[in-house]
């Protein structure tokens, strides 16, 4: 008995049997971790277990990224956090830092905190819990993994050897979101947390270093149903890793984008929930000069075509980027002997690689 | 175990198409991680699998439309066949004279994730087990939250720990339910519900326990608090309470209080009464009601559902429902015990159907090879996973592998090491699911046929690898045969049968179960160490005879290829059993079929025991792999 598969040559295939640009779409993994122009709506909600928001703005109002949009009332963290599974490590507490963040204590149980918009745009709604929904034109970077609630801060590049920038002292002033354009380790994270940094964007980290810093089981953290509860006991510094776990460099394209917005106020969220399909993201609202009259958002097209720029997201070449220049008509065999649909990539260093479609994602 | 007669599927046939005249059918299986689409068509008067395509499922942001993934998978079929099936984002139907389009579209869905069902009221351990069993054939998870007043009368108070212990040190009495302790239990349960974010509730329990109807009142209050909880940021205040959803509630408690419960929950929950849950024999109604809730509150809420629904006369159905139809059909049609295994990205399913209508489904919603890979490591532990690997691996490497796979569930293993780690986890998934199924009397079942599917098995590069995974993890005994569904179609054929039963039967026989791995002889009992465990006499159809002696602790393959048949005579050692008792010889009443691996004699013993020495274990694993062609 044989499998009957009718193979008729596709009229849109070129002489190599691959698709021409703009031809029929191929199987694609989800991708587009970097979008330079996007029109999006995000709820400004800094998280907080049993917290409630008191909005300071109303729907229809234009807001600036450094504008206070909400008073967050949250319970004392010691009462709020109870049962999320976490491992106890020496790093679970931070000298001089309260997991509840800075704020004013009211009636002995609630802390008040002023929340900046972090985005420039228009308020379109107020959510049931008091979150402020803002529509913004922004550049967006999606991370592979992260941790920590949404927080606004000033994007600040950090170079190895330099000291950590200190956050502003005014209550309403944005903190610092540190951009470290490479792999991160536990020691650097500790230093950043000790310096009061509110967020860190880096390329990658080992799972052990991440768990040691968070004092949490990362598998449980990203698989939790209750996102708010999962973030509740984490150190008060949001993390976003653009490439994921391991020791993977940050692509030049991402570094360039981040460098371009050095000094801008951005909104970082490290929340990662594979159950809820929530991934960390950095939203950088575009300034007025970038949003001209004919400005159009980029519609991310996930279709893989010839000349698509892609990133390898698994295996020994993880993190490598390149351009598709060939689709194989037949499945290809790999070192594992697994057979899969594949593409031929031209990498940035000029070398070439045959790679399964299932482990590449489109980045441009 | 409960008995259910196969009724040919659980859904009425499609109305808008004429199944009898359908010459092409597109069948989509929308999983959590990937969407598979198969094209079935007529070839020389028989329905066959023509081509298949696969793409990532697109229910999550930024796409949030299940049809995008389906269309992408279809585009692969278009590439293979040169035909067009989609125009302007919609399906071309019926099939055109040019060959474009398809007559029917059928879909099975598991992409919405499991339905989270909280079990409230006077929940005893027996009722908790019954509730779990009632939904065991669904993508559903049950979480028991016994009413605080019921807990107070049936169990000692838990000892406080940590900060709460210090807080209660002044006034609390350890081991006794004080009002403060009850308040704490209320708070704990509300926190738990908030964490779970349930999609439905099941109220159980009679009113004959000490607290009377109070547990029912508390269950209702719990539901009201859940519905009123504002912590979900999705509903805007601008709409006031318009955003408040009603929680579907199945009432399986004391019959005399059903109206009181309805009154209490008026405006908060939509109450459906089902049979009072008291015994295994009364699970049917609860199970059916839960299935209806799943299809309405999970499947129909998947982004893009309405668009997908418009392509078909038949509503998409849950993948387990489809698989169960096929498994029960096979068991009755071939008069044999069938065990089906499906290892998916987020779930692992084991279904057993007997020739007399026995049926035990178990959908293990927390165990899978994609986003739920971490659960295997958590539940089995690194050592139980690593024991299947013929090389040294650190716990850190296993964790890193798991986390990367959770974050990139669509990835395939490109290196041999990665492949072997994935296959070790596949064994773990089956082992954990079978352990869970044993609570439902799984061990009463000896399968005549093991039918396996799911990405990790279907994509195994060698048939021997799939066979070894099944033998290692299921540890069957006696004589059985194994079939691998590389097309991953068996989970959809039950759904196909609802609209085109002939197509389902023909594709099943022609394509889905075409990869017969082989017949397996698995002696068990006390295998004499270092000696022959069993002698196997093989008489081929052409008259040739072979006798093989298989040593204890080893696997042997006797050549018996696809399309070959042979008569078997088994001579076990005096303490060894092949199903008729220790030392009893057996002769097959009819010829057994060959397979892609051959006739497998697995004399490693049951349960499998590994050498304690690491180096010896690696050598033994490599030896087994080499023999079976893994």
* φ, ψ for residue A167, nearest 5 deg: -70, 165
- Kindly report, residue by residue over B123-136, the tens digit of the pLDDT: 998 999 999 989 98
Measured CA to CA, the distance from residue A44 to residue A72 in angstroms comes to: 11
* Cβ separation A277–B510 shorter than 8 A: no
* Cβ separation B415–A335 shorter than 8 A: yes
- Kindly report, residue by residue over A215-231, the tens digit of the pLDDT: 999 999 998 877 888 88
Which candidate, B593, B595, B568, B573, places its Cα nearest to that of B584? B573
* Cβ separation B231–A228 shorter than 8 A: yes
pLDDT band at A28 (very low <50, low <70, confident <90, very high): very low
Give the rounded distance of the alpha carbon of B169 from its chain centre: 47
Which candidate, A127, A44, A134, A73, places its Cα nearest to that of B240? A127
Residue A211 predicted with pLDDT over 70: yes
Q: How far is B278 from chain A (nearest CA, A)?
A: 31
* Cβ separation B195–A26 shorter than 8 A: no
Q: How far is B247 from chain A (nearest CA, A)?
A: 18
Q: Please list every residue in chain A whose beta carbon sits closer than 8 Å to the beta carbon of residue B75.
A: 24-27
pLDDT of residue B559: 96
pLDDT of residue B18: 53
Residue B12 predicted with pLDDT over 60: no
- If DSSP states are collapsed to H, E and C, what string results for B248-291? EEEEEECHHHHHHHHHHCCCCEEEEECCCCCCHHHHHHHHHHHH
> What token pair was written down for B402?
């798991």
CATH of the domain at B253: 3.40.50.2300
Q: In sequence order, which residues have a C-beta less than 8 Å from that of residue A250 and are 6 or more positions away?
A: A181, A182, A202, A203, A242, A243
pLDDT of residue B210: 65
pLDDT band at A101 (very low <50, low <70, confident <90, very high): very low
> What token pair was written down for B370?
């994609």
Sign, CA dihedral B301-B306-B311-B313, equals positive
Q: How far is A116 from chain B (nearest CA, A)?
A: 18
What mean pLDDT is reported for chain B?
Answer: 87
* Cβ separation B410–A358 shorter than 8 A: yes
Average pLDDT for B356-366:
88
Average pLDDT for B418-432:
97
Place of tokens 């971790």: A33
Q: How far is A219 from chain B (nearest CA, A)?
A: 6
- For B113-169, give the DSSP string: -PEEEEEEES--HHHHHHHHHHTTTSSEEEEEEE-HHHHHHHSPPPPP-HHHHHHHT
pLDDT of residue B175: 67
Q: Please list every residue in chain A whose beta carbon sits closer than 8 Å to the beta carbon of residue B191.
A: 82-83, 229
Domain ranges for chain A: 1-31+302-364, 34-290
pLDDT of residue B260: 92
Measured CA to CA, the distance from residue B287 to residue B299 in angstroms comes to: 16
- Kindly report, residue by residue over A247-260, the tens digit of the pLDDT: 998 988 889 999 99
* Cβ separation B377–A219 shorter than 8 A: yes
- Specify if B595 maps to a domain: yes
Measured CA to CA, the distance from residue A7 to residue B82 in angstroms comes to: 8
Nearest CA in chain A to B232: A129
pLDDT > 70 fraction of chain A, expressed in percent and rounded: 78
Average pLDDT for B139-156:
88
SS3 (DSSP) at A260: helix
pLDDT of residue A49: 66
pLDDT of residue B550: 97
Q: Please list every residue in chain A whose beta carbon sits closer than 8 Å to the beta carbon of residue B514.
A: 1, 3
- Specify if B189 maps to a domain: yes
* φ, ψ for residue A79, nearest 5 deg: -85, -30
- Kindly report, residue by residue over B48-78, the tens digit of the pLDDT: 999 998 888 988 876 789 999 999 899 989 9
Q: How far is B118 from chain A (nearest CA, A)?
A: 14
Measured CA to CA, the distance from residue A121 to residue A61 in angstroms comes to: 8
pLDDT band at A103 (very low <50, low <70, confident <90, very high): low
Q: How far is B232 from chain A (nearest CA, A)?
A: 7
Q: In sequence order, which residues have a C-beta less than 8 Å from that of residue B314 and are 6 or more positions away?
A: B11, B12, B13, B14, B106, B495, B498, B499
Interface probe for B, chosen from A60, A77, A212, A358 (most Cβ of B below 10 Å), is: A358
Q: In sequence order, which residues have a C-beta less than 8 Å from that of residue A159 and are 6 or more positions away?
A: none
Which candidate, A320, A347, A296, A139, places its Cα nearest to that of A246? A320
Measured CA to CA, the distance from residue B604 to residue B622 in angstroms comes to: 14
- Number of A to B CB contacts under 8 A, please give it: 209
Place of tokens 């279709």: A303
- Specify if B440 maps to a domain: no
- For chain B, the straight-line distance linking the first and the last C-alpha, in angstroms and rounded, comes to 35
Residue B106 predicted with pLDDT over 50: yes
Q: Which of B82, B396, B411 sits opposite A359 (nearest CB)?
A: B411
* Cβ separation A26–B76 shorter than 8 A: yes
Q: Which of residues 166-225 of B touch A (CB under 8 A)?
A: 188, 191, 194-197
**ipTM, interface predicted TM-score of the complex:** 0.81
User: HSE on the CB side for A72, CA within 13 Å?
Assistant: 26
Cβ atoms of residues B77 and B101 within 8 Å: no
Q: Which of B76, B411, B415 sits opposite A358 (nearest CB)?
A: B411
- Kindly report, residue by residue over A176-193, the tens digit of the pLDDT: 999 999 899 999 999 999
Residue B242 predicted with pLDDT over 80: no
> What token pair was written down for B204?
């159980």
Measured CA to CA, the distance from residue B393 to residue B71 in angstroms comes to: 41
Which candidate, B334, B336, B378, B366, places its Cα nearest to that of B354? B336
- Specify if B29 maps to a domain: no
pLDDT > 70 fraction of chain B, expressed in percent and rounded: 90
Nearest CA in chain B to A335: B415
Q: Which of residues 433-452 of B touch A (CB under 8 A)?
A: none
SS3 (DSSP) at A127: strand
Average pLDDT for A22-42:
63
pLDDT of residue A182: 87
Measured CA to CA, the distance from residue B584 to residue A333 in angstroms comes to: 47
- Kindly report, residue by residue over A232-247, the tens digit of the pLDDT: 889 999 999 999 999 9
pLDDT of residue B64: 84
What mean pLDDT is reported for chain A?
Answer: 80
CA distances to A68, B624, B625, B630 from B468, rounded to whole Å, are 62, 8, 8, 7
Helix, strand, coil shares, percent, chain B, to 5 = 40, 25, 35
pLDDT of residue A109: 62
Nearest CA in chain B to A18: B79
Measured CA to CA, the distance from residue B323 to residue B319 in angstroms comes to: 6
- Kindly report, residue by residue over B383-404, the tens digit of the pLDDT: 999 999 999 999 999 999 999 9
- Specify if B2 maps to a domain: no
Measured CA to CA, the distance from residue B606 to residue A221 in angstroms comes to: 38
Measured CA to CA, the distance from residue A332 to residue A89 in angstroms comes to: 46
Question: How are beta strands B586-587 and B565-572 bridged, if at all?
Answer: antiparallel
Measured CA to CA, the distance from residue B364 to residue A328 in angstroms comes to: 37
pLDDT of residue A129: 84
- Specify if B447 maps to a domain: no
pLDDT > 90 fraction of chain A, expressed in percent and rounded: 46
Q: Which of B62, B230, B462 sits opposite A129 (nearest CB)?
A: B230
Q: Please list every residue in chain B whose beta carbon sits closer than 8 Å to the beta carbon of residue A32.
A: 62
* φ, ψ for residue B394, nearest 5 deg: -90, 160
SS3 (DSSP) at B245: coil
Q: Which of residues 461-500 of B touch A (CB under 8 A)?
A: 461-462, 487
* Cβ separation A129–B232 shorter than 8 A: yes
Measured CA to CA, the distance from residue B135 to residue B198 in angstroms comes to: 15
Owning domain of residue B262:
115-161+172-228+245-297
Helix axis angle, A207-214 to B395-407, nearest 10°: 90
* φ, ψ for residue A269, nearest 5 deg: -130, 130
B165 interfaces chain A, CB cutoff of 8 Å? no
Cβ atoms of residues B232 and B216 within 8 Å: no
Choice between B178 and A339, residue whose per-residue pLDDT is larger: A339
Q: Please list every residue in chain B whose beta carbon sits closer than 8 Å to the beta carbon of residue A82.
A: 191
- Specify if B622 maps to a domain: yes
Q: Please list every residue in chain B whose beta carbon sits closer than 8 Å to the beta carbon of residue A45.
A: 233
* Cβ separation A26–B62 shorter than 8 A: no
Q: How far is B223 from chain A (nearest CA, A)?
A: 18
Interface probe for A, chosen from B231, B375, B394 (most Cβ of A below 10 Å), is: B231
- Kindly report, residue by residue over B294-305, the tens digit of the pLDDT: 988 899 999 999
Q: Please list every residue in chain A whose beta carbon sits closer than 8 Å to the beta carbon of residue B80.
A: 5-8
Q: Give the CATH architecture of domain A1-31+302-364.
A: Roll (2.30)
pLDDT band at A159 (very low <50, low <70, confident <90, very high): confident
B72 interfaces chain A, CB cutoff of 8 Å? yes
* Cβ separation B407–A274 shorter than 8 A: yes
SS3 (DSSP) at A225: coil
Which candidate, B2, B45, B166, B37, places its Cα nearest to that of B503? B45
- Kindly report, residue by residue over B594-612, the tens digit of the pLDDT: 999 999 999 999 999 999 9
pLDDT of residue B231: 58
Q: How far is A163 from chain B (nearest CA, A)?
A: 31
pLDDT band at B454 (very low <50, low <70, confident <90, very high): very high
Choice between A141 and B161, residue whose per-residue pLDDT is larger: A141
- Number of domains making up chain B: 2
Interface probe for B, chosen from A126, A338, A361 (most Cβ of B below 10 Å), is: A338
- Specify if B307 maps to a domain: no
Measured CA to CA, the distance from residue A257 to residue A239 in angstroms comes to: 18
Q: In sequence order, which residues have a C-beta less than 8 Å from that of residue B598 and are 6 or more positions away?
A: B518, B557, B558, B559, B560, B561
Q: Please list every residue in chain B whose beta carbon sits closer than 8 Å to the beta carbon of residue A226.
A: 194-197
pLDDT of residue B155: 76
pLDDT band at B507 (very low <50, low <70, confident <90, very high): very high
CB-CB neighbours of B197 under 10 Å? 17
Measured CA to CA, the distance from residue B527 to residue B609 in angstroms comes to: 12
Question: How are beta strands B449-453 and A110-116 bridged, if at all?
Answer: unpaired
Q: Please list every residue in chain B whose beta carbon sits closer than 8 Å to the beta carbon of residue A9.
A: 82
Last residue of a domain, one of B257, B273, B297: B297
């Amino acid at each position: 008995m044989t499998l009957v598969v009718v193979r008729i040559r596709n009229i849109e295939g070129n002489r190599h049997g691959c698709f021409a640009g703009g031809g029929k779409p191929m199987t694609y993994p989800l991708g587009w971790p970097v979008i330079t122009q996007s029109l999006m709506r995000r709820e400004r909600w800094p998280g907080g277990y049993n917290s409630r928001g008191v909005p300071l703005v109303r729907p229809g109002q234009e807001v600036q990224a450094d504008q206070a949009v909400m008073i967050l009332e949250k319970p004392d963290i010691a009462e709020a956090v109870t049962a999320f599974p976490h491992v106890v490590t020496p790093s679970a507490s931070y000298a001089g830092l309260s997991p509840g963040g800075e704020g004013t204590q009211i009636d002995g149980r609630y802390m008040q905190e002023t929340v900046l918009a972090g985005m420039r745009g228009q308020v379109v709604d107020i959510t049931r819990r008091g979150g402020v929904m803002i529509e913004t034109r922004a550049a967006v970077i999606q991370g592979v993994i992260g941790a920590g609630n949404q927080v606004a801060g000033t994007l600040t590049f950090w170079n190895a050897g330099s000291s950590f920038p200190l956050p502003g002292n005014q209550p309403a002033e944005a903190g610092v979101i540190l951009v470290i354009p490479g792999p991160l380790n536990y020691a650097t994270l500790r230093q950043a947390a000790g310096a009061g940094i509110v967020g860190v964007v880096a390329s990658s980290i080992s799972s052990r270093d991440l768990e040691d810093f968070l004092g949490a089981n990362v598998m449980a953290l990203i698989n939790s149903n209750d996102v708010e509860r999962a973030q509740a006991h984490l150190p008060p510094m949001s993390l976003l890793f653009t490439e994921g776990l391991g020791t993977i460099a940050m692509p030049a394209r991402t570094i360039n984008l981040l460098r371009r917005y050095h000094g801008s106020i951005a909104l970082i969220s490290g929340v990662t929930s594979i159950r809820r399909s929530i991934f960390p993201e950095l939203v950088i609202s575009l300034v007025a000069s970038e949003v001209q009259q004919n400005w159009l958002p980029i519609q991310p097209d996930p279709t893989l075509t010839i000349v698509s720029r892609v990133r390898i997201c698994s295996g020994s070449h993880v993190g490598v980027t390149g351009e598709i220049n060939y689709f194989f008509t037949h499945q290809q065999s790999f070192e594992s002997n697994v057979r899969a649909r594949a593409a031929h990539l031209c990498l940035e260093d000029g070398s070439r690689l045959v790679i399964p479609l299932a482990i590449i994602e489109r980045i441009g | 175990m409960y008995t259910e007669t196969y009724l040919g599927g659980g859904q009425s046939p499609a109305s808008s198409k004429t199944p009898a005249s359908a010459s092409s059918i597109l069948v989509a299986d929308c999983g959590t991680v990937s969407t598979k689409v198969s094209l079935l068509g007529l070839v020389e008067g028989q329905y066959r699998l023509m081509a298949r395509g696969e793409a990532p499922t697109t229910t999550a942001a930024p796409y949030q439309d299940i049809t995008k993934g389906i269309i992408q998978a279809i585009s692969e079929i278009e590439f293979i066949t040169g035909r067009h099936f989609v125009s302007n984002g919609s399906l071309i139907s019926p099939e055109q004279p040019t060959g474009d389009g398809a007559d029917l579209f059928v879909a099975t869905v598991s992409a919405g994730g499991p339905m989270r069902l909280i079990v409230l009221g006077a929940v005893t351990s027996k009722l908790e087990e019954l509730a779990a069993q009632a939904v065991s054939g669904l993508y559903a998870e049950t979480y028991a939250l016994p009413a605080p007043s019921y807990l107070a009368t049936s169990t000692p108070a838990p000892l406080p720990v940590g900060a709460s212990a210090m807080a209660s040190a002044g006034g609390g009495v350890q081991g006794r339910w004080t009002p403060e302790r009850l308040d704490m239990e209320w708070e704990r349960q509300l926190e738990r519900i908030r964490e779970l974010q349930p999609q439905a509730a099941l109220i159980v329990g009679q009113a004959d326990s000490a607290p009377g109807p109070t547990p029912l009142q508390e269950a209702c209050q719990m539901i009201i608090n859940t519905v009123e909880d504002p912590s979900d940021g999705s509903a805007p205040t601008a709409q006031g309470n318009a955003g408040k959803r009603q929680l579907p509630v199945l009432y399986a408690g004391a019959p005399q209080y059903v109206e009181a419960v309805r009154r209490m929950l008026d405006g908060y929950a939509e109450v459906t009464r089902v049979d009072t849950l008291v015994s295994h024999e009364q699970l049917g109604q609860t199970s059916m009601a839960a299935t209806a809730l799943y299809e309405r509150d999970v499947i129909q809420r998947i982004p893009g559902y309405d668009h997908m629904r418009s392509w078909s006369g038949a509503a998409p159905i849950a993948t387990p429902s489809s698989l169960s139809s096929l498994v029960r059909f096979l068991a009755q049609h071939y008069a044999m015990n069938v065990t089906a295994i499906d290892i998916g990205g987020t779930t692992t399913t084991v279904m057993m159907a007997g020739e007399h209508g026995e049926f035990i489904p178990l959908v293990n919603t927390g165990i899978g090879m994609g986003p739920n890979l971490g659960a295997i490591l958590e539940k089995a532990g690194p050592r139980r996973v690593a024991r299947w690997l013929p090389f040294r691996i650190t716990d850190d490497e296993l964790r890193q592998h798991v986390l990367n796979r959770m974050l990139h569930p669509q990835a395939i293993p490109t290196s041999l090491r990665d492949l072997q780690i994935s296959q070790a986890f596949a064994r773990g998934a089956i082992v954990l699911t079978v352990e869970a199924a044993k609570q439902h009397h799984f061990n009463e079942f000896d399968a005549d046929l093991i039918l396996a599917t799911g990405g990790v098995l279907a994509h195994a590069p060698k048939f021997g690898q799939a066979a070894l995974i099944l033998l290692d993890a299921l540890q069957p005994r006696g004589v059985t045969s194994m079939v691998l569904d590389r097309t991953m179609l068996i989970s959809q054929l039950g759904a196909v049968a609802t609209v085109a039963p002939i197509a389902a039967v023909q594709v099943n026989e022609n394509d889905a179960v075409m990869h017969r791995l082989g017949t397996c002889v698995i002696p068990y009992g006390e295998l004499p160490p270092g000696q022959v465990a069993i002698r196997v006499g093989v008489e081929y159809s052409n008259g040739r005879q072979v006798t093989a002696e298989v040593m204890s602790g080893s696997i042997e393959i006797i050549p018996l290829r696809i399309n070959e048949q042979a008569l078997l005579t088994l001579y076990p050692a005096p303490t060894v059993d092949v199903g008729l008792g220790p030392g009893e010889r057996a002769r097959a009443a009819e010829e057994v079929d060959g397979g892609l691996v051959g006739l497998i004699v697995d004399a490693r013993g049951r349960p499998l025991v590994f050498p304690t020495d690491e180096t010896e274990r690696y050598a033994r694993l490599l030896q087994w792999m080499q023999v079976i062609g893994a």
